[in-house]
Structure 1
Amino acid sequence: MQIVHAPHLPVRPEWLALRDEPVLEPSLAIVDAHHHLWDRQSGRYLADEFGKDVGSGHRVVSTVYVQCRSMLREQGPDAMKPVGEVEFANGIAAMFASGAYGPARCCDAIVGGADLTLGAELDAVLDAMRQVSGGRLRGIRNPLAWHASPDVSSSPVTPPRDLMANPTFRQGVRTLGRYGLSLDAWVYHTQLDELYELARATEDVTIVIDHFGGPLGVGPHARQRAEVHAEWQRKLVRLAGLPNTRMKLGGAGMNVFGFDFATRELPPSSEELAAAWRPYFETCVELFGADRCMFESNFPVDKGMFSYRVLWNAFKRLASAMSADEKAALFSRTAASTYRLAIPGDNT
């Protein structure tokens, strides 16, 4: 796999501070179904930074840490190096479990990054990850997002083009089923047919589709939003027909979605974000149902475009017409059931 510079937007705290809003529905319980933590040349986002975002007003009760190549082991076999990331995330989880960072139980579920093409070696890696996870390991994610255009890039790692069709990779996904683990999949809308074939071939494994299923708005897809939406929706219909699929609603702060909010003088309001994302939200909920959809922050990646408080206000605006039960599913219950998390208290 080719590793390039991360194509994420820079986080500008002074710019983000130009937009503040009162928190909507502050008692609504939230499980942030997808975030990262790292300490890189591009910036530091660890317990202190994430804790401030989580504690900025919304009632975040739990979060799901997702693979991003943080704190890989420096020494040892390459296959075992990602064990370090699970160990790291579990350490952060222990910090939050102490209560010293507030009531949220951050990193209470961990999606690691074991290489699913390892074949017979995979069991040893998953066993090691499980041992250092404090019982929090819930899934695995491998880089899958691929596009022929160099103008479409959302990750520092570019996978092989046909990885999802690789028999060894598919066997690795089936191995996850034996361990009771799910597969998180970040792919572009151009790859959704390949993801459908993978999900159909691994029906005993829950496939969690990240970031709205990646409807692109850059490169050859720039200024083609209606055409992209039609293609994206058509492909999602097939995926939604498979009972082992789930959808994460978020990630639209990445450059590849094609929104220009980061170039404006002021950060976007939650009303602006909700209006931009409503076509994706409504299609996903219509196809998958609220009980198979979950909101995610994708922080700190998306923090280059909006703040944590404004983001969750935007999600609450999107769900404003939903019933209390549907809101509970979107904001906490689907993530909790998918990643086997306990939600304290009620969801109202």
Structure 2
Amino acid sequence: MIDAHHHLWDLSAVHYPWLMARGVERFFGDPTPIQRNYLIEEFRDEAAAVGGSASVHVQVGAENSLAEARWVQSIAGANPDWPLKQVVFVDATADDLDFQLNAFQALPSVVGVRQIVGRAPGEDAVTGTNTLLDNPAFVAGLQNAGQRGLSFDLQLIPELMGKTADLLARAPDTAVALCHAGSPHDRSNDGLARWAAELCALSDLPQVRCKLSGLGMFEHDWVSESFRPIVETCLNQFGSNRVMFGSNFPVDKLYSNYSTLVQTYRDLIPREMHQAVFNDTAADFYSISQI
């Protein structure tokens, strides 16, 4: 099993301003319980207990993204028996984008980049990340990443899917992984229906894959049936060969343990799709060679 979306942090090695802000509620809830080190040993123990054997580290708001990437590379190098790839942060609109990408691509574990377009309506209104979609340099940056063989991890909210799909169509050679199933934050029946309708704009693009990850961030007291309509919609629209599992740990550790989360997905996903969703899609997308 490959976990296609998780985070690690050593608070003595890399600084994460958002994580260490005390008393600040985030869109996913109160981060206090995870304001501590979350290291590869703890993650491996949790994942390996249910069949995990490789994973993808996704950038997580470090003050210095290159420092974070170099730290993750050191973890990958120290754990050769656990294939670890990483997705790093870059500002795709930066004037020195080529310089940044050259530095990141000097690290063997780097396979993709991420720049968050949307987290949740409330936070997006404050951060203004949605303005990326109106910046011509953003499209050029995506195209640049794709030309270099780097994928792009896309995090956004359903309200932005149509506009983003139009933009991605202009970068058809850039492989895209949709984080957290597109963040269906409104879990009412009407909200899920709107999310599913908007999702079609992305699932229609052949370069887009979908991660079943982070679903606990918008429904903290979730039960298995909470995830069913989301899982079924993603599988119906993308097909199992374009869907992959990600734990989003330790963020989703706030609301579940690892084994419960994995078992929930295993129960909801038809058995004949397990190989693709829990392994093959991620292995292909992130170029993971397993031992």
Aligned counterpart in structure 2 of residue 330 of structure 1, from 269, 277, 280? 277
CA distance in 2, matches of 1:343, 1:329: 15
Shift of 1:47: 2.1
Which residue of structure 1 aligns with residue 158 of structure 2?
A: 189
Which of these residues, 103, 114, 134, is aligned with residue 128 of structure 1? Answer: 103
Greater than 6 Å deviation, 4+ residue runs: none
Partner of residue 140, structure 1: 113
Would you say 1:82 and 2:75 are equivalent positions? no
Structure 2 counterpart SS, 1:92: helix
Alignment correspondent of 1:33: 4
Partner of 1:20: none
State the TM-score, normalizing by the size of structure 1: 0.73
Aligned equivalents of 1:63, 1:147: Cα separation in 2: 26
Question: Which residues of 2 match residues 1-348 of structure 1 at below 5 A?
Answer: 30-40=1-11, 41=20, 42-55=35-48, 57-70=49-62, 72=63, 81-97=64-80, 99=81, 104-105=82-83, 108-119=84-95, 121-131=96-106, 133=107, 135-145=108-118, 148-149=121-122, 158-217=127-186, 225-254=188-217, 257=218, 259-261=219-221, 272=223, 274-319=224-269, 321-323=270-272, 326-344=273-291
Return 5+ residue gaps in structure 2 as ranges: 12-19, 21-34
Q: 1:147 and 1:275, CA in 2 relative to 1: closer, same or farther beyond 3 A?
A: closer
Once the two structures are TM-superposed, the CA of residue 54 in structure 1 deviates from its matched residue by 2.2
In the aligned structure 1, how far is the partner of 2:130 from the partner of 2:199? 20
Confirm or deny: 8 A CA contact 1:206 1:244 kept in the other structure.
yes
Q: 1:260 to 1:63 in 2, by over 3 A?
A: closer
Q: Relative to total residues, which structure has the larger helix share, 1 or 2? A: 2
* Counterpart Cα distance in 1 of 2:220 and 2:68: 32
The percent identity for this pair of structures is: 31
Structure 1, residues 140-180: CA drift from partner, whole Å, max 9, x if none? Answer: 00121155535x79xxx934332123101111111001210
CA distance in 1, matches of 2:120, 2:256: 26
Secondary structure, aligned partner of 1:59: coil
How many angstroms does 1:197 deviate by?
A: 1.5
Instruction: Give structure 1 stretches of 5+ with no counterpart.
Output: 1-29, 73-80, 218-223, 262-267
- Indicate conservation of the 8 Å contact 2:119/2:155, yes or no: no
- Is the Cα contact below 8 Å between 1:86 and 1:129 reproduced in 2? yes
Contact 2:116 2:129 (8 Å CA) reproduced: no
1:58 partner amino acid: V
Instruction: Name the counterpart of 1:14.
Output: none
The answer to whether the 8 A contact 1:140-1:184 is kept is yes
Indicate if the aligned counterparts of 2:139 and 2:168 stay in contact, CA closer than 8 A. no
SS of 1:43's equivalent in the other structure is: coil
Distance 1:146 1:166, change over 3 A: farther
TM-score by length of 2: 0.87
Deviation at 1:233, TM superposition (A): 0.9
Give the distance between the partners of 2:204 and 2:244, measured in 1 at CA: 17
Instruction: Please say if residues 65 and 109 of structure 1, whose CA atoms lie closer than 8 Å, have aligned partners that are also in contact.
Output: yes
Q: What secondary structure, in the 3-state scheme, does the structure 1 residue paired with 2:216 have?
A: coil
Shift, 1:230, TM fit: 1.2
Counting matched residue pairs gives 269
Q: Distance in 2 between matches of 1:89 and 1:247?
A: 24
